[in-house]
Amino acid sequence: MALAVIARTGAAIYHLGMQTQTSNPATITPMLTTARKVVVHSAGGYDRLKLETCAMPVPGRDQVRIEVRAIGVNYADTIVRMGLYASAKEYVGWPITPGFEVSGVVAAVGAGVTDLAVGTEVFAVTLFGGYSSQVVVDRGRVFRRPPALSFEQAAALPAVYMTAWYALFELAHPRPGQRVLVHSAAGGVGSALVQMAKLVGCEVTGVVGKSAKVAAVKTLGADHVIDKSTQDLWREAERIAPDGYDLVLDANGVSTLGASYKHLRRAGKLVVYGFHSMMPKTGGKPNWPMLAIDYVRTPRFNPMDMTNNSHSVLAFNLSYLFDRVELLHEAMAQIVGWLETGKIAPPTVTTYPLAEVARAHADIESGQTIGKLVLLP
């Protein structure tokens, strides 16, 4: 499918382990007075993604302006566009520019920033606002671009690698030899989870919804791959781990959550971090009756059962942890260290021009993509 995406968009792809440098030079465009950004004025489908011109943003105290070279796309951005992302409503409202991550070149610094010079190549995390040619962000959320990563790979890194890191090392603490099941293992977060769980020495089973994804998950190091499109997911999962799993990582929600819990072994942990199976794969808009039914069908876990079974359910949404800068730095230092020593690979990236943001949203919603999608402004 990634190749199909490329054929349709004329996009470029960067494979695992490649240390590709972007063609964009690390120079700042002089004399710019305006920027371009994607603005969503109200909830809806792909037609709500408007590319608009705006005034050049100015960094305040302890802030940095980045001239953006690449922007990471996350599944959550589509939920923001549909108006269903709680923290977007809480922190921004309408209109909103989606986007949690960018890479680029420092173009201006505000008062108090003394350790990042104009011209430094960086990547950064943003609490929305990333789909823009110029982004202002707090210095504390900006990191130097590792030379081993292209701008495209650096922009694809923070959200999904941070999510995987938080799930595994802040919540689950997997041990060597433990059996770990990763749903949607070829996706952005899934790819990072497979690699990090292997790094710890776990026996990793990746689950994918399409045969074309199997090879990618094997390349990431998974010991077993279950292809839901040709295999019975839970029969195969039981064959691989007859006593159950020490850890299951589930962002499907209603379609697998109950069975994921049932397939934990004693002292097993279920980490819940998304609900994408409630959303349609085409059309770009929620199916409200199905959404309501799926909401009701989503399992509620009983504390007495959890205690008696010694099963834990853990959950989080990183966008509510944006202020935990110390966690961000701890995670990023570890992640970049693993990347630089070759212990994990950079994300596989498929690029789209920023003007084709609607196509990128349709593709990630389709459930067909492998790795990360990245917009080029």
Give residues in contact with ligand NAP (CB under 6 A): 74-76, 159-160, 163, 183-184, 186-190, 208-210, 213, 251-252, 273-274, 276-277, 279, 281, 316-318, 364-365, 367, 369
Q: How many CB atoms lie within 10 A of CB 95?
A: 13
Interatomic CA distance for residues 255 and 334, integer angstroms: 33
- Contacts of 111-117 with C-beta under 8 Å, sequence gap 24+, read 111/60, 111/61, 111/62, 112/61, 112/62, 112/139, 113/59, 113/62, 113/63, 113/64, 113/139, 115/139, 116/64, 116/142
CB of 357 to ligand NAP, least distance (A): 15
- In the bound complex, what is the minimum distance in angstroms from residue 364's beta carbon to ligand NAP? 6
Tell me the residue nearest to ligand NAP as measured from the CB: 187
- Angstrom CA distances, 191 to 9, 216, 235, 348, stand at 23, 9, 23, 9
Minimum CB distance to ligand NAP smaller for 174 or for 274: 274
Question: Which residue number, 22 or 369, has a Cβ lying nearer to ligand NAP?
Answer: 369
Our CB check for ligand NAP shows the closer of 188 and 244 to be: 188
Cβ at position 272, least distance to ligand NAP in Å: 8
Q: What whole-number distance in Å separates Cα of residue 282 and Cα of residue 367? A: 9
Please provide residue 335's backbone torsions phi and psi, each rounded to the nearest 5 degrees.
Answer: -65, -45
Nearer to ligand NAP, 129 or 367 (CB): 367
Min CB(110)–ligand NAP separation in Å: 28
Q: Which is nearer to ligand NAP, 80 or 202 (CB)?
A: 80
* Dist CA 178 CA 121 (whole Å): 39
Q: Least distance to ligand NAP from the beta carbon of 146, Å?
A: 21
| Smallest distance from ligand NAP to CB 116, Å | 26
Q: With respect to ligand NAP, which residue has the nearer C-beta, 32 or 315?
A: 315
Q: Residue 333 CB: number of other CB atoms within 10 A?
A: 11
